[in-house]
Amino acid sequence: MTTELKNIKDELEEREYETLSPYATKCKESKGRKEPRHEDFPIRTEFQRDRDKILHSKSFRRLKHKTQVFLSPYNDHFRTRLTHTLEVSQIARTISRALKLNEDLTEAIALGHDLGHTPFGHCGEGILNEILPNGFFHNLQSVRVVEVIENMNLCQETIDGILTHSWGYKPKTPEAQVVQYADKIAYINHDIEDSVRAGVISEEDLPNDCREYFSSNQSDRLAKMITNVITSSFDSPNVSMTEECWHYVKKLREWMFQHVYLDPVTKAEEKKARNIIKSLYDYYAEKISGFTKEDDIPTVLGDYISGMTDQYAIRKYIDLFIPKPLAEGMNDEALFRKLQNEAD
């Protein structure tokens, strides 16, 4: 290995001190990983490695077939959990770059924040939360994905950002604070656009004061939210939004819950989706009872079912509960093999 190649990582880490804000999280100051890692090719910083680990994970690839708002959309222009994640990443990187924060850490958190999300969006999360004795929360499951299920051995700062992207948590880094805002900004705006495309609402239906404050134009509304976070956070250790802007963001979010997220027409198929997840859980709980301890069944099935895509869950339901001649059973061998190995 040439001397130049050996020095790349060191140069990138030193450059952070030269170019980033004093409030930015520096790689050299990271609290590190649970397991020490041998560096064969020192050409990436630790946060860049985290980003790449997430990007190449199986759970990240499955996001392309998980619901954002509209269940199992056949229209290619509706968002999925993957395109939502990419939009969060883009918004978060824009804010982070403008504030001279660590863009690599920001991107790693953004790409990993929804890895633990269920099939059928928040409907799937809701039914698993009802079924499992300790509840189910996708941010906690996302941490479980990176720490246990795929054992990515990420930096503590990345894991903290994934955990705290949901509102109500207090992030430990400004980069994680950025992702908190970027997540809200992304889903409010793209859910409005998807709902308009679906014919559920029109831009004119949105609250008048919100349209006056943000504009009726999707791009202008998005830009105003992003720039407000940036201008409110210059030269500050904390990332924030003005009270006025946050008031209208919350009002839009509450309006979307009332008219889209919880609307009977939009959610007409949710009862079927809930039934699919409940039926799969009951079936597998009985099926694996002889393979594992009774107390471990909720954890095993929480991992298994939350990892499914919409299409896979539907196909499993059809395979297990819809009669058809000469049906070929779908492959559950991995699940039972894992349990058998643990039992051994």
For 16-60, the pLDDT digits (tens) are 999 999 999 999 999 999 998 776 678 899 999 999 999 999 999
Distance CA 331, CA 237 (A): 50
pLDDT in tens, 264-291: 766 778 889 999 999 999 999 999 998 8
Percent of the chain whose predicted confidence (pLDDT) is above 90: 77
Cα 86 to Cα 57, 105, 272: the distances in Å are 15, 15, 28
| Contact (Cβ atoms closer than 8 angstroms) between residue 116 and residue 140 | yes
H/E element holding 335?
helix 333-343
Decide if pLDDT at 343 tops 60: yes
Copy the structure tokens of residue 206: 């949105």
Copy the structure tokens of residue 272: 């079927």
The domains found in the chain, sorted by start residue, are 3-33+42-201 (1.10.3210.10)
Copy the structure tokens of residue 269: 């198929």
pLDDT band at 330; cut points 50, 70, 90:
low
Distance CA 143, CA 158 (A): 10
pLDDT in tens, 226-265: 999 999 999 999 999 999 999 999 999 999 999 888 777 6
Backbone torsions φ then ψ of 322, nearest 5 degrees: -105, 120
Classify residue 260 by its DSSP letter.
Answer: I
The packing angle between helices 243-256 and 174-197, to 10°, is: 40
Decide if pLDDT at 329 tops 60: no
Distance CA 117, CA 299 (A): 15
